[in-house]
Amino acid sequence: MAYSEKVMDHFTHPRNVGEIENADGVGTVGNAKCGDIMQMFIKVENDVIVDVKFKTFGCGAAIATSSMATELIKGKSIDDALKLTNSAVVEALEGLPPVKVHCSVLAEEAIKSAIADYYKRNGIDKEVEMPPEDCHECAVEH
């Protein structure tokens, strides 16, 4: 399977790359399968994610999925952002080859861990449920 045009677009022109100084939450996660790392920064105002940026030492699919994921959660409430699954990101990108689906989990995890960090910093006693170790829909062993 080839990469969709949307994947190529987000890979070659990733949105929201960088760092947010004085971020309200920072999440750093690693992909156990490949060793790639993702960092997500969020700025929160009145429970809304007003800004989000990411940095990654990850593959092209990780870059494209994070770029799309940041677009999908920007301007959304925290509760809506927590509902974003890697499958929804993959769908928005019009698909990923099955062997690359695990890369999209990194984006979901990074967002959730940035929100968990935001909760922690603000003394908000809420649990964030992380995605399972294995990809939601990936049938491939890796």
| Binding-residue pattern over the window 28 to 67 for ligand FES, x denoting contact by CB under 6 A | ---x--x-x---------------------xx-xx-----
Round to whole Å and give the CA distance between 133 and 57: 19
Round to whole Å and give the CA distance between 96 and 102: 10
Q: Which of residues 96-135 bind ligand FES (CB under 6 A)?
A: 103, 106
Sign of CA dihedral 80, 81, 87, 89: positive
Tell me how far, at minimum, the Cβ of 59 lies from ligand FES, in Å.
3
Tell me how far, at minimum, the Cβ of 8 lies from ligand FES, in Å.
15
Tell me how far, at minimum, the Cβ of 71 lies from ligand FES, in Å.
18
What the block records as the tokens of 129 is: 């449920």
Q: Is 103 a catalytic residue?
A: yes
Round to whole Å and give the CA distance between 42 and 50: 8
Contact of 103 with 62, CB cutoff 8 Å: yes
Nearer to ligand FES (CB atom), residue 48 or residue 97: 97
Applying CB under 6 A, the residues found at the interface with ligand FES are 31, 34, 36, 58-59, 61-62, 103, 106
